[in-house]
Structure formats: structure tokens, C-alpha cells
Amino acid sequence: MFGDSSRGLAKLTDRPDFALVGVLRVPTAQSSPWTALARRLLLAVLLLAVATGVVYFGRNGYHDNAREEMSLLDAAYYATVSLSTTGYGDITPVTSEARLVNILVVTPLRILFLIVLVGTTLSVLTERSRQAFKIQRWRHSVRNHTVVVGYGTKGRTAVDAMLGDGVQPSDIVVVDTDPQVLETAANAGLVTVQGSATRSDVLRLAGVQRASAIVIAPNRDDTAVLVTLTAREINPKARISAAVREAENTHLLRQSGADSVVVSSETAGRLLGIATTTPSVVDMIEDLLTPEAGFAIAEREVEQEEVGGSPRHLRDIVLGVVRGGTLIRVGEPEVDALESSDKLLYLRHVQP
């Protein structure tokens, strides 16, 4: 059913870094266009000052039709008309030394001066080169990040939750096929990869093989199953969380390698049903799921003085104990005595 659409095409992971510009995007610091213009003008003035100084230092090698000796203003005038390629010819180098300086210094400065003032095309090329360098550096350094497949409502909300929990934007990679969606993600400071996550080379380009967590939130359940299978094959150790619309597909995702499966349609339906009778419960659940303020569900290690005690007697409101990777709810007899390797799920108060 799912053919390899990359057959006959070069894999993304085999392409050189400069060929990935536009597919893989590493965000850069945004600056005002007025700031960029001011920098260019400042560089142009600096080049003009260097050329003026060079000419004035060797002023004895120049002939001025208007006067015997060149002043600093004459040197600045000659540098200006030379760098702008105007060249009136009223001041000319006559000695061998002055002509050599014009060849080795003034002419390169003239070229650089023109590049600075007419640098739109060069700016585009420079940006591509900068992106290629950032891609190369990112691909060699990315480790223990989170890959989010699909940046729709579910994926975007998942990213917002991670950012609210303190995850850095540079540690999140978004994979999607929609350029406009990826533009939104890039504006949020996220690394983006354009392509279908059903292809293994796209996932490898996103660094799935070195990721610590993978969030799979496409719009179709069959896509979620295929992406989960591919991601689990590439990275057997990463924690995979996937979302599906229909509960009947939950077992397929778990068999494909998902550690956590969220049924989006049924979860929303339950909240809608609860809201008809006890809307305050829905408000509390929304509060727990929003990490920016109010209460949030968090996880922490068991402290040394808590070992051997009951989670019901701690200062925090403990909801469950994770032991050996398995969640055990508070109240079960096996967690009446905490162990040093346990982790606690508790309610944390978040200051806005």
C-alpha cells in the first residue's frame, strides 16, 4: 500500500549539506532591515576611509591637475571617484609605487565597495551559504532532541506544552510537508524538515536515530502507524508518543512500537460529555494540561529521606509512582513503601 516514493531519487541523507537548503531549515537570529542597511553603509564608509588613507599615505606618487600637492580632501576625492568607478581622471597615479598600490589595494577595495552597495544577489548567496554551514554544524551536533511529526493542531499544541515545560526551541525538530506550516514553526525558533515522514531518509535527516523522544501527530491514522513503524526501526530506544483519531487503531500503534497512544477523538468526546454535567472538572483538567500557570502534572525522583515511606504522606500531592517503567496508581499496596529508583507523578503549582 505504501510504496517507497524515494525510489529512483537520491536520498536526502546522501545529499551534501548545501543541497539541503530549503529542505532542512535551522532558525537564525532575526534582525531589523534597518540594522542590516546601517551595517552595510558603515562597511562602505570604512572601505572608503581605508582607500583614502592608502592614497594619502602615498600622495607623492599622484598627479593633480589642479594643484601641486594633494591634501587629505584630494585623497578622499580620488578614493571616492575610484571606488564608485566614476574616474574623472583629474587625479592619476604617475609613479610605479602608486600604480602598484592601485592594482593591489584600490582595485580590490573598489570591487568590495561595489559588492557592499549592490549586494542583494550576494546577500541571497551568503544566506544560502550560511544556512549550509548551520545545517552541517547542526547535523553533527544534534543529540537527545525531540522530533515532532506533523505541525497541525495536535503537533503545535504538543510543542507548546513542551516549551511550557522548559524545553528549548532548538531541541525540537518539526517534520511536515506543508511549507506554510513549516514557516510558522521556523518563526517560533524550531528546526524544520520538509518532507513526508513515511520516508526513512526524511526521518534520518531530522535526526530520529539520535532523538530521545518522537511525537507522531499526523492527520491520518494509517500514516501514524507507518511513521511509527519506520521511526521504531530507526531508533529502538526513543520514546514514541502517537495520536490517533479512532480507538480501534490503538493496538496497531502499540504493536508498531509506540510507547504512548492518545485517542484524540474519544478524549475530546469524554471532555464534552463531562462538560454537560460538571464543567468545573473540565476546567481542572484543562488547568492540569496547561503548564504555563495553575497546576501541572510533573515527574520527579524520589528523595533520599522519602525512601521507605508512603507516597500518600508526602508534602506533594502524588498521583502515581513509576517503578521499572510501569505506572502504579497511589493506593496500590505495592507502592506503600517507596524505593530509591521510583519516580513520582505529582501536582506542581506553576507561577504565571
Judge contact between 94 and 113, C-beta under 8 A. no
- At residue 232, the pLDDT reads 96
In 24-64, where do the E strands start and end?
A: 24-25, 62-64
**Per-residue pLDDT for 33 more than 80?**
no
List of residues 6+ apart from 341 with CB closer than 8 A? 302, 323, 324
List of residues 6+ apart from 338 with CB closer than 8 A? 302, 306, 307, 308, 309, 310, 311, 321, 344
Other Cβ atoms within 10 Å of 212 Cβ, number: 14
For 127, the grid coordinates are 544566506
- At residue 8, the pLDDT reads 39
Highest mean pLDDT among 143-152, 245-254, 256-265, 271-280: 143-152
User: What would the 3-class secondary structure string for 182-200 be?
Assistant: HHHHHHCCCEEEECCCCCH
Dihedral sign from CA coordinates of 183, 187, 193, 196: negative
SS3 164: helix
Tell me the average pLDDT across 232-260.
92
Kindly report the average pLDDT of the chain as a whole number: 81
Q: Which is more confident, 94 or 153? A: 153
Tell me the average pLDDT across 12-36.
69
Give the DSSP per-residue string, 201-254: HHHHHTTGGG-SEEEE--S-HHHHHHHHHHHHHH-SSSEEEEEES-GGGHHHHH
Tell me the average pLDDT across 259-264.
88
For 17, the grid coordinates are 549539506
- At residue 117, the pLDDT reads 67
Q: Which is more confident, 186 or 350? A: 186
Q: Which is more confident, 255 or 76? A: 255
Query: What angle, rounded to 10 degrees, do the helices at 72-83 and 33-57 form?
Result: 120
Tell me the average pLDDT across 40-64.
82
How far apart, in whole angstroms, are the C-alpha atoms of residue 344 and residue 188?
32
**Per-residue pLDDT for 148 more than 90?**
yes
How far apart, in whole angstroms, are the C-alpha atoms of residue 41 and residue 64?
29
**Per-residue pLDDT for 233 more than 90?**
yes
**Per-residue pLDDT for 274 more than 50?**
yes
- At residue 256, the pLDDT reads 92
